Amino acid sequence: MPKVRTKDIMDKFKMELISGEEGINRPITTSDLSRPGLEIAGYFAYYPKERVQILGKTELSFFEKLGRFEKEERMAGLCSPITPAILVSREMDIPQELVDASEKTGVPVLRSNMKTTRLSSHLTNFLESRLAPTTAVHGVLVDIYGVGVLIIGKSGVGKSETALELVKRGHRLVADDCVEIRQEDQNTLIGNAPELIEHLLEIRGLGIIDVMTLFGAGAVRSNKRITLVIDLETWDPKKQYDRLGLEEETMKIIDTDIQKLTVPVRPGRNLAVIIEVAAMNFRLKRMGLNAAEQFTTKLADVIEEGDR
């Protein structure tokens, strides 16, 4: 199923449908927009007909200077069988030639009251968000001190219980069990919960609880950028775990590498506090303060002084 149709942008930006109603469900496959100034001037060699077309004051004022035959020819060229929509900004009058060509080919013509630049900006942001590559990850997403922490691990390791403790400590739940992730930019991953399980948390022995009802609206949020991954795994006595924090491991989600920390789980370890401190330490590192590197530098200095 197409992620975005022409009807979606019409409803989102409250546009007026002028003509071409039969094409209102055409799919939009790219977030790139086009302002067809060259095409109105008669140059169609590289016409990006698969894009949403936006006609502003510049294009329509030039169009009015054309002859009747040229007007009909240019608008017929704009209305291709795969063009998702032609938008007219600033609530300007729609040329009759565009309406006629639109009705023949079923290309929707929509009118907006926004200025051309503002319409282009808002529409691009909307389409990039909706058309971004997506995936789903089994885990829990929590906003901890402004850091989007994705908690992953095998089923039953304690992800949801840890999330519940974090919520009790004042942090905000984004998603439990299934985290839908979209890549809005090359290094930007946004996570949210599927609509069916939004604000819900599953605790073995208790069942499903509604976090917003129990803890208030301040305990949840609808989406959050993911910047840190915490991998909970059962403690393996034979495995050597990083004790200094110098090793940086990453996890690839879609096309983005996210820093990952592996936290071993065993009785007596307070995972909520550990993850909370991991988020704070992550923020410090981004501010240029790395405790592990400072310790290593001091240790090297002490060793060097002892060798003298």
Binding positions for ATP are: 153-160
Strand partners of residue 175: 141
User: Can you say whether the dihedral through the CA atoms of 121, 126, 130, 134 is positive or negative?
Assistant: positive
Task: Choose the catalytic residue: 71, 159, 171, 172.
Answer: 159
Residues ≥6 apart with Cβ < 8 Å to 222: 174, 192, 193, 198
Indicate if 104 belongs to the active site. no
Residue 177 annotated in active site: yes
Active-site entry in 3, 104, 118, 138: 138
Active-site option among 65, 68, 239, 243: 243
CB 124 within 8 Å of CB 258: no
74 is catalytic: no
Other beta carbons within 10 angstroms of residue 236's beta carbon come to 10
Rounded distance between C-alpha atoms, residue 131 and residue 2, angstroms: 9
Select from 293, 289, 286, 291 the least CA-distant residue to 146: 286
Q: Please indicate whether residue 171 is annotated as part of the active site.
A: no
- In the set 177, 182, 224, 231, the catalytic residue is 177
Phi-psi region of 20 (alpha: psi -120 to 50; beta: other; left: phi over 0): left
User: Which residues fall within 8 angstroms of residue 101, CB to CB, at 6 or more apart?
Assistant: 72, 75, 76, 78, 79, 107
- Known binding site for Mg(2+): residues? 160, 202
Residues belonging to the binding site are 153-160, 202
Q: Among all residues, which ones are annotated catalytic?
A: 138, 159, 177, 243
